[in-house]
């Protein structure tokens, strides 16, 4: 019997634990777009913990891909221009929504925020519609 299915709940547990610890120990919400924004546009000597948090995300993902046999690897068959446009659109959307999926989905819903519930419902509906259009209308993606 394979235990690969355990990776998703284990990852979710680690994300929830890290968000909880950041809130309890630092009084900060683990919204990645806000954390990145604070590194790119620093104010009030608040950069060190933000940079450490982001570095930890990158290092942990790299270790996972290196050390776990069969771990998913990044796709390389996407056009770079499309990735840049997608990144800009995501950044624009997180600014419009006052947060990203980690801030609203992990932290906001955990705090029973109605605004975060509405934001996550919007994120999910948009992702579902976009996936449908890309895969079935335009015919791209796998």
Q: Are 46 and 37 in contact (CB under 8 A)?
A: no
| Segment 111-137, tens digit of pLDDT | 889 998 998 898 899 889 989 998 889
Q: Do 50 and 38 contact (CB within 8 A), yes or no?
A: yes
- Cα–Cα distance between 14 and 17 in angstroms, integer? 5
Report the candidate in 1, 2, 4, 141 with the shortest Cα–Cα distance to residue 71: 4
**Per-residue three-class SS string for 3-30:** CHHHHHHHHHHHHHHHHHHHHHHHCCCC
Would you say residue 59 has pLDDT above 90?
yes
pLDDT at residue 2 tops 90:
no
Average pLDDT over residues 31-47: 86
pTM: 0.74
Res 132: pLDDT: 93
**pLDDT, average across residues 17-41:** 87
pLDDT tens, residue by residue, 5-24: 887 898 889 888 988 898 89
Q: What's residue 68's pLDDT?
A: 84
At residue 34 the predicted structure's pLDDT band, cuts being 50, 70 and 90, is confident
Length of the chain: 142
The pLDDT of residue 51: 94
Q: What is the DSSP string of 54-119?
A: HHHHHHHHHHHHHHSTT-------S-HHHHHHHHHHHHHHHHHTTS-IIIIIIIIHHTT-HHHHHH
The pLDDT of residue 10 = 86
Considering Cα of 57, then 63, then 65, then 69, what sign does the dihedral take?
negative
- 141 — pLDDT class (breaks 50, 70, 90): low
pLDDT range class, residue 58, cuts 50, 70, 90: very high
Question: Roughly how many angstroms between the first and final C-alpha of the chain, as a whole number?
Answer: 28
CA nearest to 103, candidates 86, 124, 114, 119 = 119
């Amino acid at each position: 019997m394979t235990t690969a299915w355990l990776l998703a709940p284990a990852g979710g547990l680690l994300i929830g634990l890290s968000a909880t610890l950041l809130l309890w120990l630092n009084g900060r919400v683990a919204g990645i777009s806000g954390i990145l924004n604070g590194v790119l546009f620093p104010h009030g000597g608040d950069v060190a913990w933000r940079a450490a948090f982001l570095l930890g995300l990158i290092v942990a993902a790299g270790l996972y891909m290196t050390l776990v046999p069969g771990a998913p690897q990044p796709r390389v068959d996407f056009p770079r221009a499309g990735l840049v446009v997608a990144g800009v659109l995501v950044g624009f959307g997180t600014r419009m929504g006052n947060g990203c999926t980690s801030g609203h989905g992990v932290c906001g819903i955990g705090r029973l925020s109605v605004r975060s519930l509405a934001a996550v419902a919007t994120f999910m509906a948009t992702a579902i519609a976009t996936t449908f259009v890309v895969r079935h209308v335009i015919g791209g993606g796998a």
